[in-house]
Amino acid sequence: MKKSIKIILWVVLAAFTIFFLTSIFLLADLRTPDIKNNSQSEEQIQLAHKLLNDAIKKQGLDQINQFSTYEIVGIDNWKGTMGRMATPWEWNQDKMAFRFSVGDFDGQAEVLEGEKKGFMAGIQSWDYYEKVDGKYQTNVEDHKGKIFTLAAYHYFMELGNRLADAPFIRYAGKDQLQGKAIEKIFVSWGNTVTKDYDHYLLWIGEASGLIEATTFSTRDNPKPAPAFLYGSMRFDDFRNVNGILIPFKQTAQMMNPKDNINDFIHQLTIEKFRWDNFAISEIRPFSEIKPVGDDKPVIK
């Protein structure tokens, strides 16, 4: 009997060890077999580039450099259990304002209501700051992963443009989302699995021509999570704001995008979106910080 218990314990311990090591070292890989083998035809590669470029133009992202900044006002809802454990915010479903500059990673979040009303956190040239007692301070710690979160939200708002210059773009086949036909393209910085850069799968609607979702790895995620896991972001409720189509509903989900939009980790619902309605100095309050672009992006 004792021998049987020992065997069971050793089996459990071995299984746990294998799972633990796999969680750490087995990175998420979003490539299809023909992408891994680098066996796609030139026609398939050209199709991938065309799909991405057409989606950028359809959304109007090729025109955003006429603006310097944009502000998003809305509610970011992090769901219970694991979602709430991962949230970077010390509040939930209180109205917030996100302010970003076009084309880089400077930005900030401000709480507009509730107990934390007036709290502000931001990034300038990858330095984290908070507004405390009416003064901006950089000698504060980012305990909840706000740097990663702000950079991620910023990245997804300009996703097509951000990925257009990636050196490795390939066709990843057809799929469906909510019963609609989808063309998928794979985008990354090389044809390998490495901690140095992420994988992206863009889900482009055949009818809409828009990026309706993206699947992505998160190599630099500050939250503890198995490395083989990946996430998705759905983009819905596109509205025209000064010629640019903005997704007013953005839904983060585990693994592949789901038909059920209510199955989410967190969901950003935008109430207002405005271009160039604040001075860029508002999100760059410090004059003596290294120039923008000195460090590589958190998300790549």
For the record, the structure tokens of 116 come out as 């934390």
End-to-end CA distance of the chain: 54
Q: Do residues 136 and 129 make contact, with C-beta atoms less than 8 angstroms apart?
A: yes
Beta strand spans in the chain (E): 69-78, 95-101, 107-111, 120-124, 127-132, 135-137, 168-177, 180-188, 200-205, 211-216, 231-241, 244-254, 266-275
The per-residue pLDDT for range 31-64, each reduced to its tens digit, is 999 999 999 999 999 999 999 999 999 999 999 9
Torsion region of 295: left, alpha or beta (phi above 0 gives left; psi -120 to 50 gives alpha): beta
Note the pLDDT of residue 13. 39
> How far, in Å, CA of 112 to CA of 106, rounded?
20
For the record, the structure tokens of 163 come out as 């990925």
Exposed (0-12), middle (13-18) or buried (19+): which is 72, by Cβ within 10 Å?
buried
> How far, in Å, CA of 255 to CA of 172, rounded?
16
Q: What is the mean pLDDT of the chain?
A: 85
Torsion of CA 142, 97, 238, 217, to 10 degrees: 0
Q: Do residues 268 and 233 make contact, with C-beta atoms less than 8 angstroms apart?
A: no
Note the pLDDT of residue 17. 32
Note the pLDDT of residue 228. 57
> Residue 23 above 90 pLDDT?
no
Q: Do residues 122 and 129 make contact, with C-beta atoms less than 8 angstroms apart?
A: yes
> Residue 81 above 60 pLDDT?
no
Please, what are the domains in the chain? 29-95+150-276 (2.50.20)
pLDDT band at 198 (very low <50, low <70, confident <90, very high): confident
Half-sphere exposure of 188 (CA within 13 A, CB side): 28
> How far, in Å, CA of 291 to CA of 285, rounded?
13
Note the pLDDT of residue 220. 61
> Residue 108 above 60 pLDDT?
yes
For the record, the structure tokens of 18 come out as 């294998």
What's the average model confidence in pLDDT over 144-172? 95
User: Which of the residue ranges 34-43, 221-230, 234-243 has the most confident prediction, judged by mean pLDDT?
Assistant: 234-243
> How far, in Å, CA of 63 to CA of 288, rounded?
31
> How far, in Å, CA of 89 to CA of 237, rounded?
24
* Per-residue b or e along 239-273, where b marks 16 or more CB atoms closer than 10 Å to that residue's CB: eebeebbbbbbbbbbbeebbeeeeebbbbbebeeb
Please identify which residue in the block is written with the tokens 């021509």.
209
> How far, in Å, CA of 176 to CA of 195, rounded?
29
DSSP string spanning 113-161? SSTTTT-EEEEETTEEEEEETTEEESS----S-HHHHHHHHHHHHTHHH
* Per-residue b or e along 31-41, where b marks 16 or more CB atoms closer than 10 Å to that residue's CB: bbeebeeeebe
pLDDT band at 298 (very low <50, low <70, confident <90, very high): very low
> How far, in Å, CA of 96 to CA of 120, rounded?
10
Note the pLDDT of residue 30. 86
User: Which of the residue ranges 23-32, 94-103, 134-143 has the most confident prediction, judged by mean pLDDT?
Assistant: 94-103
pLDDT band at 16 (very low <50, low <70, confident <90, very high): very low
